[in-house]
Structure 1
Amino acid sequence: MTNTLRIAAIQLTSGANFKENLQEVKTWVAKAAADGAQVIVLPENVFLFNGKGMRALAESDDQGLLLREVADLACHYKVYLVVGSHPSLVNEGGELVANQRVRQSCMVFDPNGELVQRYDKIHLFDVSVDDKAGSYRESNYIEPGDLEVKIFEVDGFKVGLTICYDVRFPELFRRLSKEGAELILVPAAFTYVTGKAHWNTLLAARAIENQCFVMGVNQCGWHTQTRQTYGHSVLYSPNGEMLKQLQEEPGYFVGEISKTSLQTCRTKMPCLEHRRFIN
């Protein structure tokens, strides 16, 4: 167990070609690892920014090859590599997802290349937005995950998993906090319009109210003629202080979090102990 942990956010403009996206990931992971990152987090839709193509990739021979490449990457650099989201053909019980949909899975590979945790996105983005796309209906091609919280541990730090739209539902974050999460990850593909309006506010709020570190890892730029994401990947402290942030271009940062600062925050203002509604 250590007092500090170095974590990296990699921000990308992923497209519809998973091979090209994989090459981008390899480039940025190498840089983040060289900067001493122990945990490297990729955004939502990292290998395929094409909802309609999710099922085809999940059913293809390329699926296994791609995940082996990811496992090898984690093993080569001896890091925890968090795939923000990737389509899964089966649910966590091993049953085939029905109606030509997939699960949107956040996958964690350890330094031995082993898959050690998987979280399936619970809240699906079925909304209308004032942008060129106009509306989004994730439930057309994604099946919601089971109502379970997922945490993995790195050097004594408990890390909770969410995906994108989940950030608007504080009850999920509270459950993760109650289970001991000290850092909560939010890999995302937040649209430019909704990101500009709410991205930083929501992430800071989730950090402050749960007195934990929160890192949002977003896509950025134009992916198609109608789909633009906001970027601004960011790391917040338990006090809501912005520790690191990118802008609107692909890139990465490495931030350091500490047990000491988290414990100091929780000791000085023990909000979690003062809760009256605890269910």
Structure 2
Amino acid sequence: MKSYLAAAIQMTSIPDLQKNLVQAEELIDLAVRQGAELVSLPENFSFLGEEKDKVELAQEISEQSEQFLKTMAQRYQITVVGGGFPVPVGDRKVYNTATIVDPHGIELARYQKVHLFDVNLPDGNTYEESGTVKAGTDLPSVYRSEELGSLGLSVCYDVRFPELYRHLSSKGADILFVPAAFTAYTGKDHWQVLLQARAIENTCYVIAPAQTGCHYDLRHSHGHATIVDPWGVILADAGDKSGVAIAKIDPNRIEQVRSQMPSLQHRVFA
């Protein structure tokens, strides 16, 4: 594993597939011009609209999202994380799917979100992800790259379930991805502390691309795409506007933290 720059992209996706892909490409271009070799996109990067519309357009969104990720990876010669897009599974449901694509346009890893966001919030918003999304049944695998390190996928609401990240770290992950469309209401209190906790307890980098702002009607996202180091230090934060958070991923820092705080070696309960 070498030292390199990674980018967590922050978007305000809307119910318009083509406009979202244009926005995503502009931000990928911005990240690459700043030196990023690994670029991650947030959950719902290609479409964020009403659930019924997402299901109706799922085949088109899925096909175009997958092709977009491959095209971007090849065009810019980078590794791209597609943080979450719908893939039809039948019975008018989809998998919320995240992928990793290499510079040759080859898919390296795929994960179907297992924890679904069914929550009634005090701000008046109700979310029932399980109404249109089928939960994945497999824990995410860790993809090992000689250059970029060992990469572990998750999606948004997963961040509240530390056992998933313990699984990833036990499989050798160095970098944990948390692409999200975190709600504005919960994000202000929970987003940063959850990301730091996952980094600290697993002594891993955490890269969390995010949605921000108003997408449609009452749907607002918190923003603050973030990169956290294995000690829990915030290395980059994109704030609340569309943009990019960029930071160096350094294998020496991982070794240093794990030497100073070897908590993974002290686990009593597996």
Does the pair score TM above 0.5? yes
Tell me if 1:152 matches 2:143.
Answer: yes
* Aligned-residue offset at 1:42: 0.4
CA distance in structure 2 between the partners assigned to 1:248 and 1:193 by the alignment: 14
CA distance in structure 2 between the partners assigned to 1:69 and 1:254 by the alignment: 22
Counterpart residue number, 2:109: 117
Tell me if 1:187 matches 2:187.
Answer: no
Q: Give CA deviations for 1:220-250 in whole Å, capped at 9, x if unaligned.
A: 0011121110001111111111111111100
Code of the aligned partner of 1:201: V
Matches within 5 A, 1:100-115: 100-115=92-107
Code of the aligned partner of 1:143: K
CA distance in structure 2 between the partners assigned to 1:41 and 1:99 by the alignment: 30
8 Å contact kept, 1:132–1:227: no
CA distance in structure 2 between the partners assigned to 1:65 and 1:185 by the alignment: 22
Counterpart residue number, 1:85: 84
- Structure 2's unaligned 5+ residue stretches are none
Structure 1 vs Structure 2: percent identity of aligned residues? 36
* Aligned-residue offset at 1:127: 0.7
Counterpart residue number, 1:94: none
* Aligned-residue offset at 1:130: 1.8
* Aligned-residue offset at 1:104: 0.3
Code of the aligned partner of 2:71: D
* Aligned-residue offset at 1:216: 1.6
User: Please, what TM-score do these two structures have when normalized by structure 2?
Assistant: 0.96
Seen in structure 2, the aligned counterparts of structure 1 residues 63 and 127 have a Cα distance that, compared at 3 Å, is closer
Choose which of 104, 115, 132 in structure 2 pairs with 1:141: 132
CA distance in structure 2 between the partners assigned to 1:100 and 1:186 by the alignment: 26
Seen in structure 2, the aligned counterparts of structure 1 residues 218 and 197 have a Cα distance that, compared at 3 Å, is same
Report how many residues are paired: 268
Seen in structure 2, the aligned counterparts of structure 1 residues 167 and 63 have a Cα distance that, compared at 3 Å, is closer
Counterpart residue number, 2:26: 27
Q: Give CA deviations for 1:49-104 in whole Å, capped at 9, x if unaligned.
A: 023222222334x6434422321111010001111101112xxxxxxx24210000
* Aligned-residue offset at 1:254: 1.6
Tell me if 1:243 matches 2:235.
Answer: yes
CA distance in structure 2 between the partners assigned to 1:87 and 1:239 by the alignment: 34
CA distance in structure 2 between the partners assigned to 1:132 and 1:251 by the alignment: 28
User: Please, what TM-score do these two structures have when normalized by structure 1?
Assistant: 0.93
8 Å contact kept, 1:173–1:206: yes
Matches within 5 A, 1:1-279: 1-2=1-2, 4-50=3-49, 51-60=51-60, 63-89=62-88, 97-133=89-125, 135-154=126-145, 155-278=147-270
Q: Give CA deviations for 1:151-195 in whole Å, capped at 9, x if unaligned.
A: 223315001000000000000000000000001000000000100
CA distance in structure 2 between the partners assigned to 1:189 and 1:32 by the alignment: 20
8 Å contact kept, 2:11–2:212: yes
8 Å contact kept, 2:62–2:87: no
The residue matched to 1:38 in structure 2 has which SS? strand
- Structure 1's unaligned 5+ residue stretches are 90-96
The residue matched to 2:67 in structure 1 has which SS? helix
Seen in structure 2, the aligned counterparts of structure 1 residues 156 and 224 have a Cα distance that, compared at 3 Å, is closer
8 Å contact kept, 1:7–1:39: yes
Q: Give CA deviations for 1:130-162 in whole Å, capped at 9, x if unaligned.
A: 2242x1000000000123222223315001000
8 Å contact kept, 2:15–2:48: yes
* Aligned-residue offset at 1:25: 0.7
8 Å contact kept, 2:99–2:111: yes
Code of the aligned partner of 1:54: K
CA distance in structure 2 between the partners assigned to 1:214 and 1:69 by the alignment: 24
8 Å contact kept, 2:15–2:216: no
